[in-house]
Amino acid sequence: MSLMNYLAIRKARQHPSSDTEQPEQQSPSTLPKTKLRFPNPLSSLRIIADKENALILFYNAFLFAAFYDITAVIPSQFSRIYHFNDLQIGLCYIPFGVGSMSAALINGQLLDRNFARWCRKLGVPIKKGRNQNLKDFPIEKARLQLALPAAYFAACMVLVFGWVLDINGPLAALMVILFFASFSMSCAFNVTSTLLVDFYPQSPATATAANNLVRCLLGAGATGVVVPMIEGMGIGWTFTFLSLFLLATSPMLWLVYARGMGWREERRVREEAAKEKRDLKRSGKVEEALNAKREGGTPAEGGVVEQMAVVEEEKEKEKGRGNGSTSDDGQGALAHIAPLRHSKSWRGTG
């Protein structure tokens, strides 16, 4: 919990609002038990395999690679041109960091305002503090309207940085260029990262993991090849190549801008169909287990399927009892589930 969240909760407890419904305090025994599960890394790979996600992820990675290339050449080039020591070179990264911080502060406000503008335009109510239903909302356009200008400006800054460095330009000019290059790059890939999380509001960590996987791999590769490129092409032409590459691949974002909403709907339909298929398969297994228990046999699969079958049987028994005693309503099934957690067959349930 962040400090701001802690202070807000503390203030709410000290000054409770009369019209705010206070949630009931649950005892530790009534709290639901959480089951630890090992994270599945394949979930991130499935996100990368989707065409809309792939376009966003890889262009975001291209921007990140250019970001890393600039930071990677500063030590060697500033040492060669200005004869700086390690401390002086480290201080030259301050404008780069300030640009990233400024982007983080400004970017969120711009995203919120543009989102609100689209909501007003489409007559969609804004639900503050809650997940917005984006099924029929052009979230791609609302986000990329900010990312596209920032991406083009970043490409220009990469070009200018390379040629100013190539002619051994003044340090003050390079500091200004570093600030605006960092600011524009941070704005662009912060917006695209936000858009990716918008696609997966229920699993933002998985979406972020996919983003980090792609951009850090490409960033590492770009860092490894930028010095050999400078030695073979020169500083100016190396960064000209990077700038032209960012411009040439920018239609990836335009494709998402124009066709992203349709692709997102196709993905939603596929995911719902897959979920229905899994539910049908699971319900079929429960029915099979229930029939096996009625016949006195052992079901093919235990665990949750066994428990669900017992619950189904208890429901049928309750229906047959009619309006009899209800003192143990809803508990008969649970009484059978507990022993099943420690048994491997139906014969051990008593």
Overall average pLDDT of the 235-247 stretch: 94
| Cβ atoms of residues 51 and 256 within 8 Å | no
Burial class (CB in 10 A: 0-12, 13-18, 19+), 175: middle
Does the pLDDT at position 159 exceed 90?
yes
19-23, 59-63, 344-348: range with highest mean pLDDT: 59-63
Position 242 confidence tier, pLDDT thresholds 50, 70, 90: very high
Q: What is the pLDDT of residue 331?
A: 45
Q: What is the pLDDT of residue 23?
A: 47
Overall average pLDDT of the 58-70 stretch: 92
pLDDT tens digits, one per residue of 29-58: 555 555 666 666 677 788 888 888 899 999
Task: Round the average pLDDT of the chain to a whole number and report it.
Answer: 79
By percentage, how much of the chain surpasses pLDDT 70? 72
pLDDT tens digits, one per residue of 79-99: 999 999 999 999 999 999 999
For the chain, domains (ranges, CATH) are: 43-127+137-249 (1.20.1250.20), 273-349 (no CATH)
pLDDT tens digits, one per residue of 264-278: 888 888 888 888 878
Overall average pLDDT of the 187-212 stretch: 86
Phi, psi of 172 (to 5 degrees): -60, -40
Overall average pLDDT of the 275-290 stretch: 72
Q: What is the pLDDT of residue 260?
A: 87
pLDDT tens digits, one per residue of 113-148: 998 899 888 888 877 656 667 777 888 999 999 999
